[in-house]
A and B are shown apart, each in its own frame.
Chain A
Amino acid sequence: MYKGIPASPGIVIGPAHVISNKALAISRETIPASKVEAEIARLKAAVDRTKIETIATKEKIEHEVGKTEAEIFSAYILLLQDPMFTGKAEEIIRTQLINCEYALHMVLQNYAEFTNRISDSYLKERSRDIGSLADKIIRNLESAGRKEVKLPADKYIIIANDLSPADTADMDKNSVMGFVTEVGGATSHTAIVARSMEIPAVVGVRDITSQAKTGDLVIIDGEKGIVVVNPNPKILGSYKEERKKFILKMRMLKRFKKLEAITVDKHKVELSANIEFPEEIGAVLENNAEGVGLFRTEFIFINKSNLPGEEEQFDAYKMIAMKMSPKSVTIRTLDIGGDKFLPYFKIAPEQNPFLGLRAIRLSMANLNIFKLQIRAILRASAFGKIKMMFPMVTISEEIDEALKIVDEVKAELKRKEVKFDESIKIGIMIEVPSAAIMADELAKKADFFSIGTNDLIQYTVAADRGNETVSYLYNPLNPAVLRLIRMVANSAHKAGIRVSVCGEMASAPHLAYLLIGLGIDELSVSPSSILSTKKIVRNISFRDALEEAEFALKQEKAAVIYDHVMASLDKILMPRKKENVDES
């Protein structure tokens, strides 16, 4: 049994398909002079196959992610024809009478001698891309001794050193049951894509590619982060039971897909999805979310060597707007600072980064970045239903200033006759106590509110939840937090605008129940939590939720609120749960 990091929940049992992406074991073999031409033909065939594959990947990425992301593949295609690369390998085969694999290996070694001298760390790192291209060619080499990759069965579990987000998005859900990787963390791009595609996954399992062989029976428990290779009958039996329960639960949830998110007393709650990456759109649509309630734009900026341009941003926003249309997409402007930084954009070190230059503050201090993003969002708004929102608004002046900038950009676009949605809705995130307290005033200026609960909680209780010594203070049920949420909801409704919650708080059943009672109109949760949240909505009555909230607002301690809401929820869900099982 191996322990890794839980990346995507679910239990699967199936044959392993081990992909070794470690340096391929390459042996040096001498070939007779008479075989030189055949060896070169073997190299050329492999290069051609690699080229065809690369073109296919390029087209797929271009189509699904964007032109800019696909550009690197054009470089690979050119590289495959480079005389210094494949040409040099050919020369080595001819002059030194050795096998293709080793010839390619020699070319790379020679190349590494040069690139190791590079002082620019980014360029040095990137030079390794060429090595991965050579690996691809070697995998494509046909030889009597090398077996073609045989899949163990129609359905299998992938075990690899690492999988790129694109590899993950590429997975065919009909054949890939789940995956295990040696590297990666729970918040890595790959893990997020796996969760939204609902492929069970465990990451960070050290050395698993040498522990499991293709064809071994493997169990993945994506909730606990456990991987079992060749289990004994007892363990296998208990996991089979667990899997049955999991499938039953998923099947029950799927039935909520087509149903409306409405309480038993007909109160409508809008359910939308939070996403971080374009690859998650498929899961958003699959779970029938009513829109994207929060599209974090940081992914476009992070893991880049330089600031993404307007076109790159525009392409990403447009693609998502088009895929979601006619449903809406709420795009949040850049939210960095705090614990998120950009390598190419340095800010002076701060004593208290979370109380420093982050989110809208950082955008306002760098108007070129802010305007570029607003322009890209506005242009994309011509292709679907886009809403824009600003993170971490603290004072009223910030809205005035931000709206003024939006107006300037709009005027500029009009002058240039560029199309955009002139009535685009612009909202703000309420995640700072000062904004929550002044919500009645801010509601006059914003088209909608979205409460970011993670930050609102941490700023209200002045405690970092990652700091173990004070994390006990970080509690979504803190009565001060609940009172602030109620204030925000009341202010919004008085001004005739809608209020959503897009923090993690929205997907825990007891918290969703309370939030609805506090007057929240829309819950935005991760794509994979849409159906479980809808199940809660459809089982509760709005009148009960209001009462529950009234009770909570009168308490002084979070623990009392917790016990009460859990007891109420148990009463509501227990009998119905039985009913549901009977039906299926």
Chain B
Amino acid sequence: MQFKKKVTIMNNAGFHLRAVAVFVKESEKFKSDIKVRNEEIEADGKSIMGLTTLGAGKGVEIELKADGPDAKEAIMRLAKVIADKFGEAE
């Protein structure tokens, strides 16, 4: 099963190391293959290093893609992590 969703980065600092770590802790819980795309750059949604190469700052729209048995749940969960600003207080 494939599932896609576009989401906008909401936290001030963007997709920085700490935020990415929060994201990966969630993405690793899913069996599906997860990809994150910022324009022409695509990264593995389970790799901290990969995700930091996206350089997605506040206000940037990224695309989440999942392929696998729990694709929909994975995308819904990860979109929420981003919407919740990775739990960062601001």
Name A's B-contacting residues (CB within 8 A).
Answer: 71-72, 74-75, 78-79, 82-85, 111, 114-115, 117-120, 122-124, 126-127, 129-130, 305-312, 344
Contacts and interface: CB of A to CB of B under 8 A. Distances in A.
A126 B49 contact: no
B16 A126 contact: yes
B12 A82 contact: no
B41 interface: yes
Nearest to A85: B49
Closest 10 CB pairs of A and B: A309-B89, A118-B55, A306-B12, A75-B21, A120-B57, A114-B53, A305-B13, A84-B49, A84-B47, A75-B17
B13 A78 contact: no
Contacts of B20: 75
A308 B18 CA distance: 14
Given A115-B55, A119-B55, A308-B89, A82 B49 contact: yes
B49 A79 contact: yes
Interface of B: 11-18, 20-21, 24-25, 41, 44, 46-50, 52-53, 55-57, 88-90
Contacts of A312: 89
Given A72-B17, A85-B48, 8 more contacts: A72-B18, A78-B24, A84-B48, A117-B41, A123-B55, A127-B53, A305-B16, A307-B90
Contacts of B46: 83
B9 to A, nearest CB: 10
Nearest to A87: B47
18 contacts: A71-B18, A72-B17, A72-B18, A74-B18, A74-B21, A75-B48, A79-B49, A82-B47, A82-B48, A82-B50, A117-B55, A120-B55, A122-B13, A122-B14, A126-B17, A130-B52, A306-B90, A309-B89
Contacts of B53: 111, 114-115, 118, 127
Contacts of B52: 115, 123, 126-127, 130
Contact of B57 (A79, A111, A117, A122): A122
Contacts of A117: 41, 55
Nearest to A130: B49
A573 to B, nearest CB: 51
Interface SS of chain A: helix
A318 to B, nearest CB: 15
Given A123-B57, A305-B13, A79 B88 contact: no
Contacts of A78: 21, 24-25, 48
Contacts of B48: 75, 78-79, 82, 84-85
Contacts of A114: 41, 53
B49 A111 contact: yes
Nearest to A307: B90
Which of A84, A117, A119, A312: most chain B CB closer than 10 A?
A: A84
A277 B20 CA distance: 28
Contacts of A84: 44, 47-50
Contacts of A311: 89
A372 B16 CA distance: 24
A420 B55 CA distance: 42
A344 B11 CA distance: 11
A408 B41 CA distance: 49
Contact of A307 (B12, B24, B41): B12
Nearest to B57: A120
A264 to B, nearest CB: 52
Given A82-B48, A84-B44, A123 B15 contact: yes
A78 B28 CA distance: 11
Contacts of B56: 120, 123
A75 B55 contact: no
Contacts of B57: 119-120, 122-123
A114 B53 CA distance: 6
Nearest to A81: B48
Contacts of B16: 122-123, 126, 305
Contacts of B15: 123
B50 to A, nearest CB: 5
A125 to B, nearest CB: 10
Contacts of B12: 305-307, 344
Given A74-B21, A78-B25, A123-B16, A83 B47 contact: yes
Contacts of B47: 82-85
Nearest to A311: B89
A118 B38 CA distance: 11
Given A78-B48, A82-B48, A126-B16, A306 B21 contact: no
B14 A75 contact: no
A309 B90 contact: yes
B59 to A, nearest CB: 10
A302 B15 CA distance: 20
A124 B56 CA distance: 10
Contacts of A308: 89
A129 B17 CA distance: 8
A130 B47 CA distance: 13
